Structure 1
Amino acid sequence: DVTEVKNVAIWGNHSATQYPDFYNATIGGKPVPEVITDKAWLEGAFIEMVQKRGAAIIQARGASSAASAANAVVDTVRNLTTPTPDGEFFSVAVCSDGSYGVEEGLIFGYPVRSNGKDWEIVQGIKHNDFGQGKVDITHKELLSEKEAVKELL
C-alpha cells in the first residue's frame, strides 16, 4: 500500500544526481531497508528509476510528462498549506539556508515540514556514508551549474 510509504526525501538537484533517500524513509513504520532487503537494488536500480522518472513517463506515454509535473505542483501546494503530520516530512526544492552543508542560496531539494503557513527544513537527519556521498554529488553538480552561469547572475 503506497500510503504506508513515508518520509522519502529527494535531496539535491532536479537532475540525474537527485538522491531519493530510502535509508531514512519508512514503509508501514519500518525503515525501508528492513522491508526491502535487496540493498543492491535500492542503491542501484531504485535510485536510477527515480532519477530517470521524467524520461520514463515520456517514453511510456509517448507524450510530455507535464501532467505528472502538474500533479507534483498540486501535491506540493497542498503540503505547504496543510500542517505536516507529526513525525513526517515531504520533499521540496527550496533556497538553501546552509543546512546540511549546502551552499546558502542554492535551490536544493530538502525534507521540509509545514505548519500550514510557514515551512522549515527538517534538521538532524543523519546520512550513512552512501547517502552523504549522494548528497555531496548532487551538491557539487549544483555548484558547477552555478559556476557555469556566474557571468549571467
Structure 2
Amino acid sequence: MIARGPVTDAVKSLLATVTGKPVEVLTVPINAATGKPFPPPYTLLYPLDHDTDDQTMGDQHSTAISVYQATFVSGPDPSKPGSRGTDTQAQWLADKGRAVVARAANGAPGYLHPLTIPGTTCYRRQANEVGATSDPNDAIISYVIRFRFYLDSAA
C-alpha cells in the first residue's frame, strides 16, 4: 500500500523547488528563524483524494491516485503600508507551480522535475486549473491548481 504521508512530503518539496517560495500543508508557512509567518507569496497545499483501489479482483493496493490542491497566495508587501496582493503575483506563482507537470524540452520521457517518493514511482501527472479567488477584506488574492498523481509501488 502506498502511504499518503510520504506522497504529501514529496509534493510539498517539489512545489517548493519549482516555485522557489515557501510551501506548507494546511496552514501558512512559518519562518523557522523568526517563528512568524512568511509573507506572501507562498503556497498552501491541501491533500484531497487518495484512492488506493485499482478496481481489479486481485487488488494488492500497489497503486494509488493522489490529488492535491495548491493555492498560490499573493498578498500585501509588509514593507509597503496599504499594499495589496495582485493577480499578477498570484498568476506568476501559479505559472511556476505548473512546472510540476513540465516535460523535458528535448522530448525525453518522464517529467522535468522529479517527484521523489521512497518505494514509489509516479508515472503520470495532471494539472487542473480551478481559477482565482480573492478576499478584499485582507487584500489576499490566490490562484488554485489541483494536481493528480498516478502512483505505483516500485517493487
The structure in which a higher percent of residues are helix is 1
The structure in which a higher percent of residues are strand is 2
Does TM-score exceed 0.5, indicating one fold? no
